[in-house]
Amino acid sequence: MVRVPGLLLMLVLISVPRADAALAAEPPPAAGPPPPAGGDANARLDLSGIGLPILREGRVVNFVFIRARVELAPGLTPAEIEAREPFIRAGLVRAAYRNPMNAANDLMSLDRKRFEAVLLQEAKAAFGASRVRSVLLRDQKPQKRIYSPQERGASGGGADRP
């Protein structure tokens, strides 16, 4: 009875190198068409971790951290995209302090249309109007939960925290 497990183990060990040899004998998969020389056909810039202010009566009351995407026309290299990203980030923050982008009566989110319009403007300034295809606000998270007085009264409690 001791020999059966040993024999089984020997059969397994013998078959493993053959499987490796069979895999090594196969030709490598053919590579797809070479990428275009000017850059990626699906060029995009993903922005994340940008804290934009929420203003009420000219004072900062909260921050919203966003994730956004800028779809670009082909022809830009990753190095060119990366070099222009800081200008877009700085432009978004400046614009948010100049003209508040928060939604009406909401101290925890941005107005999607306003934000996307500003992002489109900043992206076109950085890359050129013909190179920007579209922009999208993918996600937004508030730094803290702040409810308006109307929402506090409707919930029956006066506390800001759950």
- Identify the architecture of domain 44-151 in CATH: 2-Layer Sandwich (3.30)
* Per-residue confidence in pLDDT tens, the chain, 162 aa: 445 555 444 444 454 444 444 444 555 555 444 445 555 567 999 999 999 999 988 899 999 999 999 999 999 999 999 999 999 999 999 999 999 898 878 888 999 999 999 999 999 999 999 999 999 999 999 988 877 666 656 555 555 544
Residue ranges covered by each domain of the chain: 44-151
Give the CA distances from residue 52 to residues 126, 135, 143, 152, in Å, rounded to whole numbers and listed in that order.
19, 17, 10, 24
DSSP annotation of 102: B
The pLDDT of residue 144 is 82
Dihedral sign for Cα 71, 40, 82, 124, please: negative
